[in-house]
Amino acid sequence: MSVTSVNPAANATNEYYLTRQSQMESNVRSYPRKLPLAIAKAQGCWVTDVEGTEYLDCLAGAGTLALGHNHPAVIQSIQDTLASGLPLHTLDLTTPLKDAFTEALLAHLPGGKEEYCLQFCGPSGADATEAAIKLAKTFTGRSSVISFSGGYHGMTHGSLAMTGNLSAKNAVNGLMPGVQFMPYPHEYRCPLGLGGEAGVDALTYFFENFIEDVESGVTKPAAVILEAIQGEGGVVTAPAKWLQKIREVTEKHNIVLILDEVQAGFARSGKMFAFEHAGIEPDVVVMSKAVGGGLPLAVLGIKRKFDAWQPAGHTGTFRGNQLAMGTGLMVLKTIKEQNLAQNAQERGDFLQAEFKKLAQEFPCIGNVRGRGLMIGVEIVDERKPADHMGSLPADAQLAAAIQTACFNNKLLLEKGGRNGTVIRLLCPLIINQDECVEVIARFKMAVAEALKAVRG
């Protein structure tokens, strides 16, 4: 099949391809229901549908496309790998390309290759999460896991069991047993009803006491797994002192601390990894999405003392994806050479400041939060009474209408959080100032249109 044979059919429309998709694909498809377009091409922060309409993309493959669409360095890497004669698939056999990528990735972990080694897993973040839990159970000889409300770790049997959102879990019986959930700090909706520093302090004490109390009713876990910034859970950032206490307690009790950096990692938060904001070092780091430069790859960073695997103790057919290692290496180089962590921080600061200005004009914007280019805008019903902490009731209907209005204004973004009430932005790290200004302009129009449609 030549490349010309997959070009859009003459006079084809989005509806044409979406109808065909619905006829040929499972009911499980999700994004086309909220973002009904068929993509013909893409470049940077922009995608073009089959009808020739351009959209500003603030979803970026759910954070996968750190350098945006079809970045020249990524395309060149693919072309170079294909021309080199390297096999595309090598299981876990090494190659010069894999060697270079491994060394470069280790250099970005705290302590580098002296402290960590890498495990190449299957192609998705959930594969790596499953491997991390299996490793923790192997190392400790224990069976249970502590996870957190609002967390998201994937959709496979074990990872879904550790995910907070109940809508996906309720449809599946018999998920992995032995998962204990604990409350995660939330600056706008404190799970203890305290808010502010009092809420953080109480949750910090609660975690330590829960682990150390011999009457807690919970046996010592093999692992604690969490995100330093919850993405799907509504862009909720863990306070540094809470993370530091979790690190202290898990280290004291020989519990494996697993940081899921699948979405927040690779400079998105303004640092290479989101856990760096708290100055901690996890025992295991879960990496996917941006680690492969847009191609499927998942990797664990394992502190050497926890590398308890026996040879072939955990395998995966597609852990030797050479194209993804090449594009991943190019992403690492580009992040460093172009200082994209700083760009993420600066552009993110600008966007958050502008969203907060919009909140003065549109009180339905209840809370703006995040780090770097991982931003959440929580939509509320300001007509209803606030709770005792000053937080307003969430408005899921309006949030959905805003996402639809953004799409109509050619702005692609996602929803998340409880009942989908948080508008989420995961812009490519290369986004420039003019594009950020355009994001705000389109979002402002969308909010006004959604308010008129929903509230009149």
pLDDT tens figures, 396-430 = 999 999 999 999 999 999 999 999 999 999 999 99
b/e for 322-340, b at 16 or more Cβ within 10 A? bbbbbbbbbbbebbeeeeb
Q: Are the C-beta atoms of residues 340 and 430 closer than 8 Å to each other?
A: yes
Average pLDDT over residues 341-350: 99
Q: Are the C-beta atoms of residues 367 and 188 closer than 8 Å to each other?
A: yes
Strands (E), 338-443: 365-371, 374-379, 411-412, 414-416, 422-425
pLDDT above 50 for 123: yes
CA dihedral of residues 10, 15, 16, 21 (deg, nearest 10) = 130
Residue ranges per structural domain of the chain: 3-64+339-455, 74-337
Cα–Cα distance measured from residue 34 to residue 40, given in angstroms and rounded to the nearest whole number = 18
pLDDT above 50 for 370: yes
pTM (2 d.p.): 0.96
Average pLDDT over residues 151-170: 93
Question: Over the chain, what is the mean pLDDT?
Answer: 96
Q: Are the C-beta atoms of residues 256 and 139 closer than 8 Å to each other?
A: yes
Residue 244: per-residue pLDDT: 98
Residues of the chain with pLDDT > 90: what percent? Answer: 94
Q: Tell me: the pLDDT tens digits for 128-143?
A: 999 999 999 999 999 9
Q: Assign 2 a pLDDT band (cuts: 50, 70, 90).
A: low
Smallest Cα–Cα separation from 378: which of 350, 405, 398? 398
Average pLDDT over residues 255-267: 98
Q: Tell me: the pLDDT tens digits for 91-103?
A: 999 999 999 999 9
Quick one: fold of 74-337? Aspartate Aminotransferase; domain 2 (3.40.640)
Q: Tell me: the pLDDT tens digits for 42-92?
A: 999 999 999 999 999 999 999 999 999 999 999 999 999 999 999 999 999
Cα–Cα distance measured from residue 372 to residue 360, given in angstroms and rounded to the nearest whole number = 22
Decide: helix, strand or coil at residue 154: coil
Residues of the chain with pLDDT > 70: what percent? Answer: 99
Q: Tell me: the pLDDT tens digits for 163-213?
A: 998 888 888 999 999 999 999 999 999 999 998 999 999 999 999 999 999
DSSP assignment letter at 391: P
CA dihedral of residues 6, 8, 14, 19 (deg, nearest 10) = -50
Cα–Cα distance measured from residue 232 to residue 251, given in angstroms and rounded to the nearest whole number = 28
- Which phi and psi angles does 89 have, rounded to 5°? -135, 125
Q: Give 6's contacts (C-beta < 8 A, 6+ positions apart).
A: none
pLDDT above 90 for 8: no
Average pLDDT over residues 1-25: 83
Residue 146: per-residue pLDDT: 98
Residue 1: per-residue pLDDT: 47
Residues 3-64+339-455, CATH architecture:
Alpha-Beta Complex (3.90)
Cα–Cα distance measured from residue 157 to residue 302, given in angstroms and rounded to the nearest whole number = 22
Residue with tokens 């909706």: 189
Q: Assign 10 a pLDDT band (cuts: 50, 70, 90).
A: confident
pLDDT above 70 for 3: no
pLDDT above 80 for 5: no
